[in-house]
């Protein structure tokens, strides 16, 4: 066999081997979706797990991606907890399980009705309680000062202002409804509530109702901005109308007024302290988790949900070497 023929045969064999390998990779390789340390979630595993996490309900692409990222972060948290020697409280876990029954048989029956098992529920509780224990430990030193509480209150006083609320009887009819106009011409604060009930007739385009302690915005949604603003300027226990707005006549009577109230710092202090504490704890915890990504080895590949296996194989090669070797 001549030299050029030997080279041709060799090249043909190499191409055949590589082609066969590529076909095998394309047929069998499962792309990585995320890696935490030496643990990995691959596409096939995610396909099996996803329906359980999403409770078997229809989901969108956005739901898929959000759930995948949340699962990857849960695995990072569990890995960080293990690294720091953090575990869940067995007593709390048993208390949670006891809600489904006091004996294994009772729990099995109850959980079967919920289409799950005690083993699955236990694993979920273990994960959530471990995550809670880790967050508690890593944010134990977070405090909120009185100055922070005072500053937040002064800068956000509007959040602690209860607006004016009014109880309103109102009746609406077409401008052309002369019968209604004539009937209500002699209405008084005593007779108006009964007239509102009597003339509530959709078939005749009449709407009569009573709203208890509504705000301006809520009344606007049932009438109009103009009508609501006039009603919130009306005196107490006086029938006002007809007030025309577009093709409608309105009559209304204010039966109760609750004046605006500015809640004091002392009234709101505990709520503000709790809210600020949660915000600071969450910020610190998230920042700490970001540092753990590099320390533990966290990698997230949502794009592999759509990659062809062969392309994903070459993309994943560095991570797979770390996992396999």
Cα–Cα dist 47/62, whole Å: 15
If 0-12 CB within 10 Å is exposed, 13-18 middle and 19+ buried, where does residue 128 land? middle
What is the per-residue pLDDT across 99-133, written as a single tens digit (0 to 9) for each? 999 898 999 999 999 889 999 999 999 999 999 99
- Quick one: how many helices (H) and strands (E) in the chain? 13, 9
pLDDT at 175: 93
The structure tokens 């979706």 sit at 33
Give the tens place of pLDDT for each residue, 42-53. Answer: 999 999 998 888
Dihedral in degrees, nearest 10, Cα atoms 276, 279, 281, 283: -140
pTM of the model: 0.73
Mean pLDDT score of the chain: 89
Question: Would the pLDDT of 6 be above 90?
Answer: no
d(CA 295, CA 126): 24
């Amino acid at each position: 066999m001549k030299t050029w023929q030997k080279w041709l045969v060799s090249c043909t064999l190499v191409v055949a081997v590589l082609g066969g390998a590529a076909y095998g990779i394309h047929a069998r390789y499962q792309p990585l979706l995320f890696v935490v340390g030496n643990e990995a979630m691959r596409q096939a595993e995610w396909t099996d797990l996803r329906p359980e996490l999403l409770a078997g309900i229809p989901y969108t692409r956005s739901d898929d991606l959000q759930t995948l990222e949340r699962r990857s972060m849960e695995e990072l948290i569990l890995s960080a907890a293990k690294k720091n020697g953090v575990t869940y409280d067995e007593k709390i876990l048993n208390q949670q399980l006891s809600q489904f029954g006091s004996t294994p048989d009772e729990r099995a029956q109850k959980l079967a009705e919920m289409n799950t098992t005690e083993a699955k529920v236990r694993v979920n509780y273990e994960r959530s309680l471990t995550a809670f224990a880790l967050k508690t430990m890593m944010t134990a030193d977070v405090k909120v000062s009185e100055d922070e509480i005072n500053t937040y209150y002064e800068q956000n006083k509007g959040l602690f202002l209860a607006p004016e609320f009014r109880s309103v009887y109102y009746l609406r009819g077409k401008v052309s409804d002369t019968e209604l106009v004539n009937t209500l011409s002699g209405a008084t604060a005593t007779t108006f509530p009964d007239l509102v009930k009597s003339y509530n007739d959709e078939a005749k385009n009449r709407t009569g109702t009573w709203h208890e302690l509504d705000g301006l915005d809520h009344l606007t949604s049932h009438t109009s901005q103009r009508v609501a603003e006039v009603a919130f300027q009306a005196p107490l226990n006086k029938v006002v109308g007809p007030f025309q707005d577009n093709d409608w006549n309105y009559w209304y009577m204010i039966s109760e007024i609750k004046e605006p109230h500015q809640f004091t710092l002392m009234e709101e202090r505990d709520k503000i302290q709790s809210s600020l504490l949660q915000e600071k704890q969450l910020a610190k915890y998230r920042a700490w988790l970001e540092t753990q990504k590099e320390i533990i080895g966290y990698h997230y590949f949502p794009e592999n949900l759509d990659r062809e296996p062969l392309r994903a194989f070459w993309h994943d090669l560095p991570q797979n070497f770390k996992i396999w070797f």
